[in-house]
Chain A
Amino acid sequence: MTDDDRVFRALADPTRRHLLDRLFERDGRTLTELESELEMTRFGVMKHLRVLEEAGLVVTRRRGREKLHYLNPVPIRLIHDRWIDKYRERQVSALADLKSELEDTA
C-alpha cells in the first residue's frame, strides 16, 4: 500500500473524519477526551486512531502519563498538491482558452 492509499483509506471512514474534525477544532487531545464525544467503545476509537496514525494524519506525543493526539495536515497537503492542484490547473487553463477563443471571434 502506498502512502496515498493509506491516507485515502483513512479518510474514507466517517468516524475517522469526525475524529480529525475534533482535532482540527482543538489539537492535542487524549483518547478519553476523543472517546467522550463518540457513541463508540474505547477499543473502537483506538482502532480508528491507529489507522489515522498509520496514515500519518495523527501524530502522538507523550506528556507525562498522557498520550496526546495531534492532527498532522501534511499528508492532506501532499494529496492536495498531487491530486487537486493538477486538475484545477487544467480547468483554469480551459477557461482561459475559452475566454480567448470567445474574445477572438467577437
Chain B
Amino acid sequence: MPKSKVGVTLRIEVRDDKGRVVKVIETPSRSFTQSFANILFASMWSQYTLTDMNMIYSFYDVMGSPIFVAGFPTTLVCKGGTCYETPRNLNTPPGALLLNDVGFLFYSEPQYIASPYQSYIIYMPGIWPGAAFCPEPVYAYGPCSPISTSILSPSLFSFPSSPVYTASGWQLTYSQTWTNVTSTPVIVSSVALVFGASGDPIAPKYYILYAAIVDNVTPAVVINPGYSITFTYTLLYAV
C-alpha cells in the first residue's frame, strides 16, 4: 500500500515576555505511541469478550506504570449446584493495576485527579513539555524528563468543541501554553499529547493518564524567564 498522506502537525510558538512571537516551528508529528495503539485495541472489546477470549492488553501510563486490561478478575465456577467466584490466573505482576475494559480514552478534562497523579510533576490532560529528548518517542510513556508546573506554568488545555470541516479533512486542534515562571532559561526537548482514560470498574484509582503522541522538539527550544511556549497539535481525519 502507498504511504498514507495524512498526518498530524505540531506547531510550536515561543513568545517573549511582551507577547511577541520570537520563534515558530511547524513539523509533522512523528509518533503515536505504542500505549495509544494498545489502549485503542483494548477499547474495541467488552469485558465479557476479553474474559472469554483470555485477551490481555497492556500499556503504560505517563509515570511508566504498567496497566493491564484483562476482563473480569474472577470467573464463576459451578459445582454440584453451588457456584462461586474464583480468581482467574491472569499472569500479571503482583499489584499491577487491572482494568476490566477500556471505555474512555480521550478525556481532556479529568473528572477527578486520581491519587497516583496528585503528587506527580504534571497531573492534568494536556500537551506536556519535557526537558530531554526521547530515544524512541513511539515507545515513550510521556515527554522525557517532564518539566514541573512550578517551572513552566500551564494555561488551560484547549481541545475540540465542535466539528471543523476543511478541505484537508475533519480538523481537531489541541493547544496549550506554558510560561517560564522561574528566573532561569528552560530547555524543551520533547512534548506529549496526554489524555485521560478509564474503564470498568469506574473508580478514582482507575483514572489513568497516558501519552497518545510523543514528539521530540528538534532543535530543542530555550524558553527564557517570562517567555511562553504554545504547543498546538492539529489532527486531520481524512475526507
A binds B: no
